[in-house]
Chain A
Amino acid sequence: MIKQKVRVKSFKINDITVTGRSDQTLLEVAKEHDIFIPTLCYLEGLSCVGSCRLCLVEVKGARELVPACTSKIKEDMEVFTTSEKIDSHRKMILSMIFSERSHTCSVCEANGDCELQDKSVELQLDHSLVPYIDSRFAIDASHKNFVHDPNRCILCSRCVRVCNEIEGANAINIGGRGINSMIIHDMDEPWIDSQSCTSCGKCVYVCPTGALYEKEITKEDVTTKREIIRNLLKNRAENE
């Protein structure tokens, strides 16, 4: 592995000159400068995987759109976070996420506290652009405190990463592949049978949708617990 010295780089986002450290990603620098880039799989303090593809931006000279969350900044690069192409692509991707499983907000635990819901407002997606795939999965409510509802899962893998990188339990993973991918506990067992799960609940509070939620809890408590976990992630990231 090659260790490179950290340097200051200045470049342009939407024709505004910004500066950042060479080990920062485009997304981090954009956030520092209050430039909005939509994200779903990204969560500060967790590794970046670039899987939701909502943070795609245009870099002048690059053949393809690049995800802001994994791209390191470069001197003099010119980045555009919005354009007709980017907006329409993001909308289509978001619509694909909605079409994959059944996201019915009115009966969802996370209604009003859901990042997926927020995205549709942010990106002004008011109707579905693609047909619904209509898949139905069994809900795993075996755990004494938590519920896993795969029907609301968007496979962002935040739960997998937080369990691996922060809790260190590695109890959650992705099983199957392609459209049959599923969040699984241990060797695809009911949650309660998972030997490695510590029941810490971190996965539940990083879930952007209602796919993982706690039983018998008030909205206020959810918000508090979310804050605690996010602050923990942030502090760890800063201390590293």
Chain B
Amino acid sequence: MITSLLELEELANCKRCDEASIVEELRVCIGSSCVSRGADEIEKNLKTAIENKGLQNRCRVKGVGCSGLCANGTLVSHYKNSTKENTLYEEIILDDVDALVASIEEQKSYSLKVCDTNQLFFTKQTKIVLENAGIIDPNDIEDYIAHGGYATLFHVLHEMMPVDVINEVKISGLRGRGGGGFPTGQKWESVYKVQSDQKYIVCNGDEGDPGAFMDRALMEADPHKVLEGMIIAGFACEATKGYIYVRAEYPIAVEKINRAIKQARKLGILGNQIAHSGFDFDIEVRLGGGAFVCGEATALIASIEGNRGNPRQKPPHLSDYGLWGEPTVLNNVETLANIPSILKNGGEWFKNIGTPTSTGTKIFALTGHIKNTGLVEVPMGITLRELIFEIGGGVSDGKALKAIQTGGPSGGCIPTQFLDLSIDYDSLKSVGTIMGSGGMIVIDESSNMVELAHFFMDFCKSASCGKCVPCRVGTTQLTLLLEKYIAKEATQANFELLKELSKVVKGTSLCGLGQTAPNPVLSTIRYFESEYLEGIKND
């Protein structure tokens, strides 16, 4: 049990002392992407090889979270404590293990697979939320504490009032990272102001957009940061209970979060009387059963309550009537992971990063026809050109860029003429798309935009809960219409109907899923109308 900041620092120092005795460290990425390429086997084999050579006292093997460049996994970095030097190796496979260990024994670098960390992919990033990813062991709470973790929480609990915390978050200008971009401070304040014996903090980890994996990586790499953010949110809103809703398709993230909760409880960071401050807070994990719509706020609440994951009409908003009818804050994983840094460095510090209306950084998952597939954290306001061509390394296979899809099935595509657009909530909205949760799908010239729109519409059709007519029938009708275009059997009347139906589904659906489902169609019509006209048969 840790009861004060002093004890926490003692533990951190203790851990740091232990760390200092380690000369070298091999950090193997054990994020989902690398694990699918056999990272856990590699970690195991590296351990045995090190022991076989009798190097275990000099070099330790440690599993860490995602360091970003998923395209070139499995990533292993070699860290030297004396010089603080970190060499990154890419595309490590089982056959490399012996050679890699031999090079360590000879104190040389394994030059065959060295990854250049001076490339723009690494140097242009600003890591705040992902500061610990690829460095700390997500299975070890002490590692997090040694890197300054939970110190902010203790400071908040002992030195601040809920109102101060909310004010600081309001000053920071942090907006929801799940897609909507609602100001977080304002959300917290509305729940704080409601009088109620029981309030809840719910963390939305039901990331479902095709091509988005930011929250997964975050939960896998630094679960304690999410917990710390949640506990602070609980303190600020006077809530005593938190739920993390994670989709069951993220087994590694679930495992990491569950372990983190257990460890935090053991140290008294979760539970009754956290740090002797008189504040109680506990967190439980709830698993999603594979329904995309459960990422929608009211459906998620229904799912936690054990009901069918159907959304309901708002208002009442969650701040008045949330989980089990009580005032509830629902925040995205990334939003909560921003909180510890904001309270550590102050809202003013955070405000200076990014643009005036979209502050801070944003994690993007770069996917599609791009060279450096992976996870990047960049300040808001960076241009698409910088993100795609400098950080992302440009379009793969030397093809030309056609468009960039943001916001998944709720977003739209951005054609190449807007490459110099700054990436922030408002600019993206002005060109007909949304920030979304951060999935960024790069589309090259070989792709057909009608097929892209069809893919997303088909996705929404299968994700629709079926409660309201426009979404249930409308997405089906739109999918069928788009199929006509792909088969090149559409008529001019179909084109008018496509536009009219999109308008009705957007304007009349019950929840966000239906209201945004036509966006990919509307935005591809806006910028690539000619491709639709090609699908109209001439008679």
Contact = CB atoms under 8 A, between A and B. Distances in A.
B461 A178 contact: yes
28 contacts: A1-B326, A2-B196, A52-B468, A53-B469, A64-B507, A65-B507, A70-B313, A85-B507, A88-B504, A92-B501, A93-B504, A96-B473, A96-B474, A100-B472, A130-B501, A131-B480, A133-B473, A133-B480, A173-B308, A176-B466, A177-B465, A178-B472, A178-B476, A179-B464, A179-B466, A179-B473, A179-B475, A181-B472
A67 interface: yes
B186 interface: no
Contact of A92 (B312, B321, B467, B504): B504
A49 interface: yes
Contacts of A93: 469-470, 504, 508
Interface in A68-97: 70-72, 85, 88-89, 92-93, 96-97
A179 B500 contact: no
B287 to A, nearest CB: 18
Given A1-B321, A93-B504, A178 B474 contact: no
B396 interface: no
Given A71-B315, A97-B473, A178-B463, 4 more contacts: A51-B469, A52-B468, A100-B472, A133-B476
B140 interface: no
Contact of A131 (B462, B477, B509): B477
A50 interface: yes
A42 to B, nearest CB: 12
Interface of B: 194-196, 291, 293, 308, 312-313, 315, 320-321, 325-326, 461-470, 472-477, 480, 497, 500-501, 504, 507-510, 515
Interface string A147-159: 0000000110100
A96 B470 contact: yes
A99 B194 contact: no
A106 interface: no
A118 to B, nearest CB: 17
B477 A177 contact: no
A2 B466 contact: no
A88 B515 CA distance: 17
A74 B468 CA distance: 25
Contacts of B468: 50-53
A28 to B, nearest CB: 15
A96 B478 CA distance: 11
A65 B501 CA distance: 16
A70 B509 CA distance: 14
Nearest to B466: A181
A179 B474 CA distance: 9
A71 B510 CA distance: 13
Nearest to B196: A2
A174 interface: yes
Interface residues of A, number: 38
Contacts of B315: 71-72
- What are the 3 tightest A-B residue pairs by CB atom distance, in nearest-first order? A181-B466, A178-B464, A96-B473
Contacts of A239: none
Interface in A52-68: 52-53, 56, 64-65, 67
Contacts of B466: 155, 174, 176-181
A96 B464 contact: no
A173 B308 CA distance: 10
Contacts of B308: 173-174
Nearest to A1: B325
Nearest to A154: B469
A51 B461 contact: no
B507 A179 contact: no
Contacts of B465: 177-178, 181
A181 B474 CA distance: 14
Contacts of A176: 466
Given A2-B196, A93-B504, A177-B465, A99 B510 contact: no
B510 A89 contact: no
Nearest to A93: B469
A89 B480 contact: no
A70 B293 CA distance: 21
Contacts of B507: 64-65, 85, 89
B480 A92 contact: no
A176 to B, nearest CB: 7
B497 A130 contact: yes
Nearest to B468: A51
Nearest to A156: B469
Contacts of B467: 49, 51, 157
Nearest to B471: A178
Interface in A6-61: 49-53, 56
A174 B310 CA distance: 11
Nearest to B467: A51
Contacts of B475: 178-179
A16 to B, nearest CB: 24
Contact of A65 (B312, B325, B473, B508): B508
A97 B476 CA distance: 12
B508 A53 contact: yes
A130 B510 contact: no
B469 A97 contact: yes
B477 A130 contact: yes
Contacts of A173: 308
Contacts of A97: 469, 473
Given A53-B470, A53-B510, A178-B463, A2 B313 contact: no
Given A96-B474, A130-B501, A56 B508 contact: yes
A127 B468 CA distance: 22
Nearest to B473: A96
Contact of A50 (B472, B473, B510): B510
B486 to A, nearest CB: 16
Contacts of B470: 53, 93, 96
A176 B325 CA distance: 26
A131 B473 CA distance: 11
Nearest to B198: A1
A72 B321 CA distance: 14
A56 B510 CA distance: 10
A88 B501 CA distance: 11
